[in-house]
């Protein structure tokens, strides 16, 4: 590697019963934090950018930041994944930038329309050797443009969906939710449903909306002038059970945002004289590195980078021309 497809990485994960975090990135510090954590724990990595991240970074910046990550980490398999692609156009844009994996999320459409669009994306993406993740069922919560009421994945429909579309990974709705204000109480996930879908569907399963909303980070944010209401995330223990039952990719975004915000708030409050961005972005990056490393250990990704065949950087760069 370093560039790997989602199919390769999740195929390994599924076989060995661990999961790989899908960590969202928008800037240099987040990419560095994830890569540092991956180096520390010797983990395969999925860097993922949403449509919003592509817009925020003006496309070309995210491309070169990822290239930098590839160049700096030639010993690690790295998947560059589009999170929640909403159309064939967005998918084409991502593949044009060199992404090795895309998600098409048409889960808010009818089953027939979801199949129709997903199939088109699969046909296009597979032509470039790019993997496709799609979603069936709908998660609750709000994250950027993703809104909706909960509808758990129907296991019978899942078989049909995978058959008809030819996707490489299936995002399932099992009671998790996007964003930082997911639940008032600790959620109960539909773990039996994971088991049932995994039994019937022969591709890796993905859970979205899986931030844990750590209490210490929320408290730190509020202690230093922030205002995050009481909310619960998905406990690590539930995620670990879901992994045991067949989940191979776990998406995390809010927790990274919280680690960064909690750290920056603390620096600002304790050292109001500081104004050099390195003095707050540096510590923020360090906190995010710790957080991501702990997830890599909890998801049992740690130590698995060595399972992959490493290809030359030149090969990798061909994709990024």
Residues near Zn ion, by CB under 5 A: 208
Residue entry with tokens 């909690």: 262
Identify whether the C-beta of residue 133 lies closer than 8 Å to the C-beta of residue 102: yes
| Token reading at 93 | 């844009």
Residue entry with tokens 């995620």: 239
Residue number, 22 or 226, with CB nearest to Zn ion: 22
Kindly provide the residue ranges of all beta strands, DSSP E only, lying in the chain, ordered along the sequence.
3-4, 20-24, 45-50, 78-85, 101-104, 131-136, 140-141, 169-172, 177-178, 205-207, 247-252
The distance of closest approach from Cβ of residue 251 to Zn ion in the complex, given in angstroms and rounded to an integer, is 5
Identify whether the C-beta of residue 139 lies closer than 8 Å to the C-beta of residue 150: yes
Identify whether the C-beta of residue 25 lies closer than 8 Å to the C-beta of residue 62: yes
Residue number, 68 or 142, with CB nearest to Zn ion: 142
Residue number, 7 or 208, with CB nearest to Zn ion: 208
∠ Cα 237 152 199 (to 5°): 70
User: Does 276 qualify as catalytic in the annotation?
Assistant: no
Beta partners for residue 205, in sequence order:
170, 247
The distance of closest approach from Cβ of residue 309 to Zn ion in the complex, given in angstroms and rounded to an integer, is 30
The distance of closest approach from Cβ of residue 216 to Zn ion in the complex, given in angstroms and rounded to an integer, is 24
The distance of closest approach from Cβ of residue 83 to Zn ion in the complex, given in angstroms and rounded to an integer, is 6
Identify whether the C-beta of residue 7 lies closer than 8 Å to the C-beta of residue 238: no
Identify whether the C-beta of residue 250 lies closer than 8 Å to the C-beta of residue 243: yes
Residue number, 57 or 254, with CB nearest to Zn ion: 254
The Cα 139–Cα 177 span in angstroms is 5
The distance of closest approach from Cβ of residue 219 to Zn ion in the complex, given in angstroms and rounded to an integer, is 26
| Token reading at 309 | 């065949």
Nearest by Cα to 204 from 235, 268, 164, 158: 158
The distance of closest approach from Cβ of residue 108 to Zn ion in the complex, given in angstroms and rounded to an integer, is 12
Write out the catalytic residue numbers: 83
């Amino acid at each position: 590697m370093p560039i790997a497809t989602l199919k390769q990485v999740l195929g390994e994960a599924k076989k060995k019963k661990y999961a790989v975090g899908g960590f969202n990135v928008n800037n240099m510090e987040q990419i560095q934090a994830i890569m540092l954590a991956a180096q520390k724990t010797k983990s395969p990595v999925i860097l993922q950018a949403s449509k919003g991240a592509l817009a925020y970074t003006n496309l070309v910046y995210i491309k070169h930041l990822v290239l930098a990550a590839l160049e700096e980490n030639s010993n690690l398999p790295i998947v560059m994944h589009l999170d929640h692609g909403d159309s064939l156009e967005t998918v084409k844009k991502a593949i044009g930038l060199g992404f090795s994996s895309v998600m098409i999320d048409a889960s808010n459409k009818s089953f027939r329309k979801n199949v129709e669009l997903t199939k088109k994306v699969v046909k296009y993406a597979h032509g470039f050797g790019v993997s496709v993740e799609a979603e069936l069922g709908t998660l609750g919560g709000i994250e950027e443009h993703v809104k909706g009421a909960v509808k758990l994945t129907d296991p019978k429909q899942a078989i049909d969906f995978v058959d008809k579309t030819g996707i490489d990974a299936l995002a399932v709705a099992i009671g998790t939710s996007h964003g930082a204000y997911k639940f008032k109480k600790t959620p109960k996930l539909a773990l039996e449903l994971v088991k049932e879908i995994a039994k019937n569907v022969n591709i890796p399963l993905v859970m979205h909306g899986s931030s844990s909303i750590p209490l210490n980070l929320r408290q730190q944010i509020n202690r230093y002038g922030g205002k995050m209401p009481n909310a619960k995330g998905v406990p690590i223990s539930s995620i670990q059970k879901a992994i045991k039952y067949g989940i191979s990719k776990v998406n995390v975004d809010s927790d990274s945002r919280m680690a960064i915000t909690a750290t920056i708030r603390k620096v600002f409050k304790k050292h109001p004289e500081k104004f050099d961005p390195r003095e707050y972005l540096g510590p923020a990056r360090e906190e995010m590195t710790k957080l991501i490393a702990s997830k890599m250990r909890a998801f049992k990704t740690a130590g698995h980078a060595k399972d992959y065949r490493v290809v030359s950087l030149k090969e990798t760069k061909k994709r990024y021309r």
